[in-house]
Structure 1
Amino acid sequence: MSNAPPLVEATALSKVFHTGGLFRRGRPVQAVRSVDAAVARGEALGVVGESGSGKSTLGRLMLGLMPASAGTVRFDGQPLGRPSGRDWRALRRRMQIVFQDPYGSLDPRRRVGAQIADGLAIHHVGDAGDRADRVAAMLHRVGLDPSHAQRYPHEFSGGQRQRIGLARALASGPDFLVADEPVSALDVSIQAQIVQLLGDLRRDLGLALLFISHDLPVVRHLCDRVVVMYLGRVMEEGPAEAVFAAPSHPYTRALISATPQLRQDRRTGRILLAGDPPSPSNPPSGCVFRTRCAHARPACAEAVPELRPFGEGRRVACLRAEEIA
C-alpha cells in the first residue's frame, strides 16, 4: 500500500442487488462483499477478475454513483453518505469516470466541444470564453486538434473518441478518476496509445486512478498496486509487480497462467479452472473460490478466509496460502 494517506478509502464495502420483477422479489445477489480498498493521490490501483467479479460495481460505489448496502466510502476524509446538493456538487467535480464504450458515452447529436464543456458549466467554471479555452487546451493535452471541438462523435475513430472521453472527464480538474475497461473496445495498436496517455495524465496531474480491466499485462504496466476479485470478494492484493511475479492465491495464479505474456513457466502451461463460476445469488459456503480450486480441502467449505498479510505490502484470502506458495 502507498505510504501516502488515501484520497479515497472503502471500508467493509458491500452491495446487494435484488432480482425479480415488480410483484416478485427474487434472490439477493451480493455483487461486492466486505471489500476494503484505498487509492492515494498520484497512485494507480488496478482491479482485475473475471466478468461478474464485482469490479465495475466497486468502482461505482467508490464514486458514490450508487448507495452501498453496507460499509463506508470516504473521499478526502469525508464520508460519501448522503451529502447535501451543494456538498455533493463540490465532491462530484473532484471525481470522474471514463467508460468502456467511447461512442456510447457521447451524445451523437452534439459537438464534442460542447460535451467537454458540460462539466465546466455545471460547476460554474469560468465564463463561456474561459470554457472554450479550457476545452481547446484539454483536446490538445489528449492529442487532438483543438479545432475538433466543432465536430460530432461519428467523425472520430474509436481511439479518438476515447481521448475525447478523457478530455471530458479531466476538464473539471478531478482528483480521482475511475477508468472502467477504457481500452477493451479498441484495437490492440490503439490500446497501447490510450494506456500510455492515461499513464502520462495520471502522473502529470497527480490523479488517484482506479483502473478496472481484464487485461492483466496492461494493469501490470500501468498500476502501482492490484486488487484481484472473485465473486465480489478480494482474493489477493498488493504491489502489482510483486503479485504478477509471484501470485499467492490459486485464483490469481490461474488468471496469470491464462495470459501468455505473464506466464512464468511455459512448460506447465495454463491452469484450467474446474467447472463454471458459481451463481452470485447462490455462492459456495466458506471460500467462494473453493469449487474451482485444485487446492481446496474440507476446511475451505467451513470458514470464509479473511485477507491477511502475506509478505511485504501484500494480503491474501486463502487458508492454504503458505502450503501452496
Structure 2
Amino acid sequence: MSAALLEARDLSKTFPGKGMFRKSRPVQAVRGINMSIARGEAVGVVGESGSGKSTLGRLMLGLMPPTEGSVAVEGRPLSDFTGAEWRRLRRRLQIVFQDPYGSLDPRRRVGSQIADGIRLHGRGDAAKQVAALLGRVGLEPAHAERFPHEFSGGQRQRIGIARALSTAPDFLVADEPVSALDVSIQAQVIQLLAELRHDLGLAMLFISHDLPVVATLCDRVTVMYLGRVMEEGPARPIFNRPVHPYTRALLSATPRLDPARRAGRILLKGDPPSPADPPSGCVFRTRCQHAVEACAQTVPALAPFGDDGRRVACIRAGEIG
C-alpha cells in the first residue's frame, strides 16, 4: 500500500454540554481514533446513529478542530495550513452529503452551483466542465439550467457528486450518501461512486450504517460505537466472519433472503447509552450478550486478531471469535 494521503492520530472530539437550567456533561463524540487512508483507497465507517461517524468525517476534512490528536495530509498536520495554502488544500478535500436536496440551494440553477468550485479555484472553462461533470454522473448537459426541485432524489445526489468533483479532489467523504434513496437507486449511486473511485483514483471515506454496502465498495472497514472503534480491518473478512459482538449484531440486522440466515438475528438490549454518560470499561458492554464483570473494569485495546489484518477491541475476542 502507498503512503497515507490522510492520517488521523489519536483523534478525539468532545462537544461542550448544553443545558438551559443546569450545566450538562460534555459529549465525547470521537475518542482516540487512529486511521490512515492511502491514495485511491476506500475506507468504510459503519455504526448506529450517534456512533460518531459523521463527526469523524468532518474532522478528517478539517471542518472542525479536534479536541485532541491531529489529522495530517501527506504527513503534514491540517493545523499547519494557513491562508492561501489552506484554500489550495480545500480543493483536494470534498464531501457528498446525506440529504441531496438540503445540500443544494433551491434558488439557483444546478449548473451554477457545480461551477462554483471551478471558478473559485480557477480551473478553466466552467460551462464546458459543468457539462462534462453532468455527463460523468449520468445526467444531461441541458440539466445545468434546471433547479434542484426539478430532479428526483437520485438525480439530486448525482448533482451533489458532480459538485464535489468540480474541484478535482484527491479525497472524498461520502456521508450516508444513499440512505435517503430508494433501494434500486441506492445501487446505481453506489455503482457510480465505485466507477469514479476507480477512474479518478479517489481516496474515499464512506460513512454508512449498512455493512453489505460498505463491503461492496470499500477496501477496509471501521466499525464505531459511541465514539470508539470496535473492529477494523479488510472489508471482506469482516463481512464474512465478524468477531466483535457489535459487528455481528450489525451484520445480523441486514435483510436476508435465506430463512436460515434470517433466524440468526442478534437483538441488542435497550438503546445506546448517552455519549455524555458512557459506561465504564467497554462502552458496548451494557448491550452485549457476552459481557462479563471484567468488561466493566477494562477499556479494551484495539488489538490484532487472527491473520487477516483486522483489529478488535474486545477482551473476550479469543473466546467468541
Tell me the TM-score normalized by structure 1: 0.95
Contact 1:256 1:263 in 2 (8 A): no
* Residue 263 to residue 35, structure 1, CA distance change in 2 (3 Å): farther
Read off the aligned partner of 2:122 and give its amino acid letter: H
Displacement of 1:40 after TM fit? 1.0
The partner residue of 1:187 within 163, 172, 182 is 182
Q: Please give the alpha-carbon distance, in whole angstroms, between the structure 2 residues aligned to 1:11 and 1:121.
A: 34
**Could you tell me which residue of structure 1 aligns to residue 165 of structure 2?**
170
Task: Write out aligned runs for 1:16-55 (5 A).
Answer: 16-21=14-19, 25-55=23-53
* Residue 80 to residue 264, structure 1, CA distance change in 2 (3 Å): farther
* Residue 192 to residue 319, structure 1, CA distance change in 2 (3 Å): same
CA deviations on 1:152-184 (whole Å, 9 max, x unpaired) are: 111111111100000000011000000000011
Q: Secondary structure at the match of 1:227?
A: strand
Q: Secondary structure at the match of 1:100?
A: coil
Read off the aligned partner of 2:54 and give its amino acid letter: S
Q: Please give the alpha-carbon distance, in whole angstroms, between the structure 1 residues aligned to 2:108 and 2:15.
A: 34
Read off the aligned partner of 1:318 and give its amino acid letter: C
Task: Write out aligned runs for 1:240-259 (5 A).
Answer: 240-259=235-254
**Could you tell me which residue of structure 2 aligns to residue 139 of structure 1?**
134
Contact 2:148 2:156 in 1 (8 A): yes
Q: Secondary structure at the match of 1:125?
A: coil
The yes-or-no answer on 1:210 pairing with 2:205 is: yes
**Could you tell me which residue of structure 1 aligns to residue 102 of structure 2?**
104
Displacement of 1:147 after TM fit? 1.2
Q: Please give the alpha-carbon distance, in whole angstroms, between the structure 1 residues aligned to 2:314 and 2:266.
A: 18
Displacement of 1:298 after TM fit? 1.1
* Residue 153 to residue 295, structure 1, CA distance change in 2 (3 Å): same
Q: Secondary structure at the match of 2:261?
A: coil
* Residue 264 to residue 286, structure 1, CA distance change in 2 (3 Å): farther
Q: Percent identity?
A: 72
The partner residue of 1:197 within 192, 214, 225 is 192
* RMSD of Structure 2 on Structure 1 (CA): 1.6
Contact 1:256 1:262 in 2 (8 A): no
Q: Secondary structure at the match of 1:81?
A: helix
Tell me the TM-score normalized by structure 2: 0.96
Displacement of 1:265 after TM fit? 5.9
Aligned residues: 320
* Residue 123 to residue 114, structure 1, CA distance change in 2 (3 Å): same
CA deviations on 1:202-225 (whole Å, 9 max, x unpaired) are: 110000000001122211111111
Q: Please give the alpha-carbon distance, in whole angstroms, between the structure 1 residues aligned to 2:104 and 2:80.
A: 28
Q: Please give the alpha-carbon distance, in whole angstroms, between the structure 1 residues aligned to 2:188 and 2:119.
A: 30
Displacement of 1:264 after TM fit? 11
Displacement of 1:113 after TM fit? 0.6
* Residue 188 to residue 309, structure 1, CA distance change in 2 (3 Å): same
**Could you tell me which residue of structure 1 aligns to residue 289 of structure 2?**
294
Q: Secondary structure at the match of 2:28?
A: strand
Displacement of 1:23 after TM fit? 8.2
Read off the aligned partner of 1:159 and give its amino acid letter: G
